Structure 1
């Protein structure tokens, strides 16, 4: 796999990151534009807080782990300044979206705005040493814990008591957030969160007899035979498994790493489109039609996260199935998502693998999955399996 190292590094540092540096920064009002067309032109100026936090994290992470380039730190602080000034309500909850000038557009109903704000400010604290950023990250983290049993709070539109469901996305992201913020939190808080999130992911949402991870289950963990309860999101499941592999490294738990690889391979096999290639966005566990009309689209983040997962799984376990899947995913992803002409990557393909939307960023796609995935694969392959196996036998906080 070493032959891929230079390719992923070059794509990250010479194509994807320069695209966002050039086109994303709002010099007038602060923060980042994320709604960028194929050429990098801004086609909408609304600012989604979760994408602002992700971009702050991205440039902070690069500064921390790749090279201390001033332009990267300046970019991260530029986004953070806008978020601090405009991003929260009076209770410290992060809005979902703001207009260009920073006025709230959408109430703080989405806890993932908070998750990525905490992640971004935690990384920026490491880059800058500014205690203000550390305090924002800690406060936001504790707010997340307070809200985790009712993430949407008063904005939850579900009628209580009839079909009380919980969703996979939050425990999944907490598996990653625990490691991202470990340097700012008390050891007990980190360990408790890891144990809780792992239990939810691996014991509640994972259905061992079916070999899949459900997106929604009843509050008591049981199966709901409904649109929501039957829903599968292969990309979420596969991404979660590289988070749990990282936790396996952190906990020195080889069994957890092996189980994560097994589940990821099961979900890949289940979610792969045998006719056209690529991973389906949504599926129904009973084979019924999904609510999501976009169920058969092929999305950028799903494939990028699968690449990370398979590279990590192979390097940690030597499982040849992971290597074969990595090469299959690499060929599909680089052939279909990379824009050879204008830079960065497309986000949305139809089932046949043709570009459906030519945008490079929008309400959901920003400066995150593509560069994070490129970085992860590059650094893992550069380290090589020997270094990964050394890490596997040590207690480490993160890769």
Structure 2
């Protein structure tokens, strides 16, 4: 459903003379204002539209929407709506969206639509605590294995929403994270006390598959740190620190436990994902923790320098932007925006069909990966966060324009308007390639993280606009 058009609006789609953004309603901008502030200032002048929309979208129906609700033309408008206007009826927006992608405990306030996402989880049976992630389009379970990447992400995200977003400070959300965290502690490691974690386990925790990567361990670390932050139980923080220290040992000292084979006579290559993941974990553990900031300061510098050796990657750019912001390093900020945001955007965006290619060859040859032309949900989430963060740091309206462009594509193509939540995998022309809502990698992480971070950044921008009056 679309919101009713505001009274007096012509409905034309002419570009605003000031901000050069094509919007569904006339801006009424004062062209003497900075163009980026005009785009945000417009949001405050759409009270009639917001009032009508609020009358149309009530209670449980808001739970079924992302931060754009049903208005595809102007994501900022609906972000503004959810940021400032939604009250009691929309308090579970992100919770509903996140629960829709994982089988987890169902809070009593969720609508019947989410009854398909219930977990096989019982506090009286610890071996059933871990959530399933392999869910079909309408939420039916199609694989009873438990995959530890989405499980670690889910536990961490529930805790983070609980502690950082006031409207999600709900006992049922924290309660849904507890059994997952305990399952990870008890069953994630293949041969305790060794730290190597499984990739997948049976429903009762028996290891099935182990990968030669460090990502199960990385999201185990994230989950444990978030559990510590909401419970203040030191055993969780001990688990997080011990696991991160072991990951660092594997990466920088001895990787034999991961079964990585190093060939001394071949060219030296380094996976961008490894330093990016380490920088993400350092950022997680350092948050408002002076002791951890000192402990991992050198590792943070190491990760930044390793990432800067690579050509481009928007996800890595987001973490570098956070580092530049924390350090007040404007030179690094500008370098990251040029090299890790704008360059990959212009080379990776499909001008014909829209959306990002999964892989592009730097010399424009066909990539080796057969899924190179697919559209994946998580890079689009990362792009939205990165460009909005870049705009917040620089005030460059070009970055805001790209944020809107990517948002329009993402909410138009990835959202399932029938069963809700997001598809994860599209083919090149934007049609659905896989209709599943959860799998080995897709779970409750990138979508709610993107929504929450965009809401936070926009809130700060809008407050900055108010303060500047």
TM-score, normalised via structure 1 length: 0.84
Please list, as runs of the form range in 1=range in 2, the aligned pairs for 1:69-84 lying within 5 A after superposition.
Answer: 69-84=170-185
RMSD: 2.2
Q: Which has the larger radius of gyration?
A: 2
- Correspondences of 1:155-304 after superposition (within 5 Å): 155-156=259-260, 159=263, 161-182=265-286, 183=289, 185-202=291-308, 204-206=309-311, 213=312, 237-263=313-339, 264-304=341-381
CA distance in 1, matches of 2:271, 2:413: 30
Equivalences, count:
359
Question: In structure 1, what is the equivalent of residue 113 of structure 2?
Answer: none
Structure whose residues are more often strand by fraction: 1
Distance 1:239 1:295 in 2: 17
Alpha-carbon deviation of 1:170? 1.0
Q: Distance in 2 between matches of 1:157 and 1:387?
A: 51
Distance of 1:184 and 1:50 partners within structure 2: 28
Whole-Å separation in 1 of the counterparts to 2:152 and 2:241: 14
Alignment of 1:54-65 (within 5 A): 54-65=153-164
Is contact 1:49-1:95 (8 Å) kept?
yes
Q: Does 1:5 align with 2:110?
A: no
Aligned position for 2:5: none
Q: Secondary structure at the match of 1:296?
A: coil
- Please list every run of 5 or more consecutive structure 2 residues that lacks an aligned counterpart in the other structure: 1-39, 41-75, 84-89, 107-116, 123-127
- Which segment is superposed worse, 318-327 or 176-185? 176-185
1:321, distance to aligned residue in structure 2 (A): 1.4
Supply the distance in 1 between the matched residues of 2:257 and 2:195 (Cα, whole angstroms). Answer: 13
Secondary structure of the residue aligned to 1:166 is coil
Q: Which residue of 1 aligns with 2:230?
A: 127
Question: Relative contact order (C-alpha < 8 Å, sep 6+): which is higher?
Answer: 1
Contact 1:8–1:375 at 8 Å: present in 2 too?
A: no
What secondary structure does 2:270 align onto? strand
The SS at the match of 2:158 is: helix
Residues 21-56 of structure 1, C-alpha deviation per residue, up to 9 Å, x if partnerless? 441633151111111111111111212222111111
User: Mean alpha-carbon deviation: is it higher for 354-363 or for 160-169?
Assistant: 160-169
TM-score (normalizing by structure 2): 0.72
Q: Displacement of 1:186 after TM fit?
A: 3.6
| Change beyond 3 A, Cα 1:293–1:319 | same
Q: Which runs of 4+ in 1 moved over 6 A?
A: none
Measure, in 2, the Cα distance between the counterparts of 1:287 and 1:8: 41
Distance in 2, Cα, partners of 1:51 & 1:93: 17
Which segment drifts farther, 309-318 or 285-294? 285-294
Q: Secondary structure at the match of 1:167?
A: coil
- For residues 118 and 212 of structure 2, the distance between their equivalents in structure 1, rounded to whole angstroms, comes to 25
Q: Hey, what's the Cα distance between the residues in 2 that align with 1:359 and 1:141?
A: 32
The question of whether the paired residues in 2 share the 8 Å contact of 1:95 and 1:109 is answered with no
Q: 1:353 aligns to what?
A: 430
